[in-house]
Amino acid sequence: MSASTKHPLWSPATVTAVADVLAATNDGLIGREIDHLLALTGVAEAEGSNKRERLARALLARQARDQASNCVIRFITEAMAPVRYARQPEVFSRRRNDLNEVLVHVGLRVNEEGKVARGPAASTLDQAARHANSLRAELRRRDTHPQVLAYCTREILAKNAFHASLEAAKSVFDRLRQLTGEQLDGSQLVDAVLMPGATGTPRVAVNTGSTPTESGEQKGFAMLTKGLSSMYRNPTAHDPRLSRPVSDEELLELLTTLSMVHRRLDHARVQP
């Protein structure tokens, strides 16, 4: 966007949301980086109880003085300069995605060059998730189980759907080992902890098993878990990526299924 053009003011909510992304408590810009960028963009520092609040107040004050959002756009552009992320490309990807979830509400986006550019506008959260073109945004919209995200967020940020599917599939089997103390893996682990076995009672039961329907559901759950291993863990662990492409759409469907499996395990009864 042209620096010589006077751009309309952004709402306080939008500026605050931008500050929340760039100065996020755990993985945002640190204090001295923010101070440097404020000085670089000619924005005076402001008081606040934390770095997010200080940044938001500084940008809002300068925007009010200029009666234009140019200062916010320039700050984003400086903060998102790709050279700053040469050794941390996943951080650039995450911040860009998170910013785009905010900027889509004002019809803007951060492009791959780290510059603020025109983009589609959204008025609802669902539209924002779609237009932001962010896999993480869609996963949040679907309320993906945190156990799934813990295993594959790094791969998602690196835009590596192939390895993300492998790491995400591992999450279920690790969870079963954590619940039971078993050291088995794959179908052997599933047979040992999800199937009824000689006792007639599975060690990890997703229902009471008191009716034929519930017994069938338990066996179906075990077969589904085995199928996920056969479809995603085994092929992606052994096949080269070029021979087993995984699209973003397929990854979303897999992570949604894995999320459902984890939610059933959240409420499962575990036998010692």
Of the chain, the percentage scoring pLDDT greater than 70 comes to 91
CB-CB neighbours of 246 under 10 Å: 19
Mean pLDDT of 130-146: 77
Q: What three-state secondary structure class fits 78?
A: helix
pTM score: 0.62
pLDDT above 80 for 126: no
> Per-residue pLDDT tens for 230-270?
888 765 555 565 567 888 889 999 999 999 999 999 999 99
In this prediction, residue 160 has a pLDDT band, given cuts at 50, 70 and 90, of: confident
Print burial letters for 57-81: b (CB count within 10 Å at least 16), e (below 16): bbbbebbeeeebbbbbbbbbbebbe
Distance of CA 238 to the CA centre of its chain: 26
**Is there a contact between 100 and 127 (Cβ–Cβ < 8 Å)?**
no
Q: How much is the pLDDT for 120?
A: 77
